[in-house]
Amino acid sequence: MKVKINLQTNSAKMSLKSVKYSLNVLKSENLEIFSDLAKAKLKRLKMKFNDLESKFLSLDGDNAGHHVFLKHSTSNTFKIQTHVRKGLKNLLSENPETINLFCEDDDPLWNRELLYTALLNSQDLPSRKSKIEKKQLKVINFFGNLSAKEVVEIEAIVSGNTLSRQLTMTPPNDLTPTHYRQEIKKLASKRKWKFKEYNMSQLKRMGAGAFVAVGQGSDPQDAAIVHLTYQPKTFKKTITLVGKGICFDTGGHNLKPSKYMFSMHEDMNGSATALGILEAASLNKLPVKIDCWLAIAQNHIGPKAYKQNDVVKALNGKTIEIIHTDAEGRMVLADTLTLATRTKSDAVIDFATLTGCMAVAMGDRYSGIFSNKPELACLAVGSGQKSGERVCSFPFDEDYEEDIESDIADIKQCTLEGGPDHIHAARFLSQFLTDPKQPWLHVDLSSSNTKGGLGAAMSDVNGFGVRFGFSLIQDILQK
C-alpha cells in the first residue's frame, strides 16, 4: 500500500492542537509539545522523563488526539527500531489515516528508523478472514531531518520487505510451485528483470539429480529453478543471490510430526528474502548487477519421493548418500548453487530456513551465517548491526566434513546423530560451488518468524534478511 510521505522542514508547524495522531521523539521535556498534561500523566505513573528512553508515554489530548512520546537516546539500530515499534503499535492501534512523526534531534539514525518503522508497519499483509480491517494509513507527515533521496531508499527497502512477508505468509494451497513461478514471472515483467526457468524435464536432462530427487515426489512435478537478472545500464559489481523456495515441507518419507509440520509453508522464506532484496535494489536503482536464483519445489511423501539410502548424482557430478529426507533444503540448494556459480561474481549470498539446529543455537532473534572468506563474514556482521537485522558468524572449519564422509558416495547429505547440523549443512553446500574460492556467504534464517515481531516489524513473519542483504550489497559496493 502506497503511503504519501510529506517531509516537513519547519518543526514549528508541529502542533498537537491540530494533530489527531503523532509519535514524538524528544530530547528534552521542556519542548512545548510535551504539554503540562503529558508531564502530569508522567508524574501520575511515577515515571521520569528519562524513563522514556526505554518506555513510551501514551496521551489522549484535549482535541481528542492520540499522542505517543519517546525520549531520544544513544543506541543501536535494533534497540531504536524496537523502541519505536512498541510506541507505534500503540499509536496505530486506532487505525489512523494520517500520522505525524516528529524527531527533535538531527540524529540520522533516529530519523531514518522512525520513518522506516512507521512505513513498514503501514503495509497490508495476507489474510483470508471474511471481514478484514484494512490499514487506513494514507499520509505520514515527517518533521525531522531526512532528504528525499533517503526517503526513496526507505520506501524501496519497505517494498522489498513487504514482498517477502506477503509471499511467506501466503497459504500453501495458494502458493504452490506453479503459482509461485507465475507470480515471479509477473513481477519480473513489471520490474523488467530477465527471466529464465529450468523445469523438471530440463533439470533431469542436465543431470541435476540432487534437485530432482526432491522435486520428483510431488504431483504435479512443478518444481523448477528460476533465474532472474537485474542489470542497470552501468554497474560496479555483480552479486549472486540464491534462495531456498520449498513451498511446503512435509519432511518426505521421514515425515515431520504435526507440531513441526505446521507453518512449513514458510519454508520458502529464503527465496522470498532473495526476491525482496532484488526488489529493493531495483527500486533504489543500485549500481550493481544481481543474478537471483530461486530453488522452488515442495517436499512431499509418495511412491516417487526420494528415500533414505538412495544415492543421487548432483549437477557437478558429486554423488550424495541420502540420510534423512527432511534435509531437502540442502539438496535443492546444491544444484542451484552449482548453476548460480558457473558465472563468477563479486559475492554469492544464499538464504534458507535450513536447519532446526540453528534455531536451537540462536533462538529467533538472530540468524546464523557461514562464509569461506572471513572478511565477508565480518562485513556481514557489520551490515546486520547497521540494518537492525542481526547475524552471528559460525565456525566453518574443514574438519567438520569428517562427520559427513560416506562409505558408498562422495558425501553424506547429513548425519542421524544430530550434533552441529547447521555447520554440516554449510560444509555440504560448499561442495557445490563451481569455484570453491569464490566469496560465498550462507545465511541460515532462524529469525524469519518471531512471536510478537522483531526489530522494526510488528508481524511475526518479519521479512528478516531483506534490509540486511540490501545493506550488505551497499557495503560490498563501497569496498
Count of domains for the chain: 2
Question: What per-residue confidence (pLDDT) applies to 11?
Answer: 58
Per-residue pLDDT reduced to its tens digit, 19-29: 789 999 999 99
Strands 319-321 and 411-412: parallel
Residue 151 lies in a domain: no
CATH of the domain at 314: 3.40.630.10
pLDDT band of 134, cuts 50, 70, 90: confident
Residue 17 pLDDT more than 80? no
Residue 285 lies in a domain: yes
- Within this chain, do residues 214 and 238 fall inside the same structural domain, yes or no? yes
Residue 239 lies in a domain: yes
Question: What per-residue confidence (pLDDT) applies to 63?
Answer: 73
Question: What per-residue confidence (pLDDT) applies to 12?
Answer: 53
Q: Alpha-carbon distance 105 to 126, whole Å?
A: 36
The domain boundary, picked from 90, 119, 146, lies at 146
- Within this chain, do residues 13 and 98 fall inside the same structural domain, yes or no? yes
* Pair 22, 13: CB distance under 8 Å: no
- Within this chain, do residues 202 and 343 fall inside the same structural domain, yes or no? yes
- Within this chain, do residues 35 and 168 fall inside the same structural domain, yes or no? no
- Within this chain, do residues 62 and 185 fall inside the same structural domain, yes or no? no
Question: What per-residue confidence (pLDDT) applies to 135?
Answer: 77
Task: Supply the residues annotated as catalytic.
Answer: 256, 330
CATH of the domain at 19: 3.40.220.10
Give the domain extent around 329: 157-478
Question: What per-residue confidence (pLDDT) applies to 132?
Answer: 75
Mean pLDDT of the chain: 95
Residue 356 pLDDT more than 80? yes
- Within this chain, do residues 319 and 432 fall inside the same structural domain, yes or no? yes
- Within this chain, do residues 190 and 220 fall inside the same structural domain, yes or no? yes
Q: Which three cell numbers stand for residue 380?
A: 556481514
- Within this chain, do residues 161 and 307 fall inside the same structural domain, yes or no? yes
Place of cell 523445469: 199
Residue 108 lies in a domain: yes
The domain boundary, picked from 121, 146, 171, lies at 146
The domain boundary, picked from 118, 146, 174, lies at 146
Give the sheet arrangement for strand 411-412, strand by strand.
311-313, 319-321, 411-412
* Pair 38, 57: CB distance under 8 Å: yes
- Within this chain, do residues 172 and 297 fall inside the same structural domain, yes or no? yes
Q: Alpha-carbon distance 311 to 374, whole Å?
A: 33
- Within this chain, do residues 165 and 112 fall inside the same structural domain, yes or no? no
Residue 226 lies in a domain: yes
Q: Is the peptide bond between 395 and the residue preceding it cis, with omega within 30 degrees of 0? A: no
Least confident piece of the model among 120-124, 127-131, 300-304: 127-131
- Within this chain, do residues 141 and 162 fall inside the same structural domain, yes or no? no
Predicted TM-score (pTM) above 0.95: yes
Residue 442 lies in a domain: yes
- Within this chain, do residues 295 and 345 fall inside the same structural domain, yes or no? yes
Residue 152 lies in a domain: no
- Provide the CB-side half-sphere exposure for 183 (13 A, CA): 18
Q: Alpha-carbon distance 182 to 195, whole Å?
A: 11
Beta-bridge mates of residue 13: none
Mean pLDDT along residues 442-468: 98
Backbone angles phi, psi at 194, to 5 degrees: -70, 140
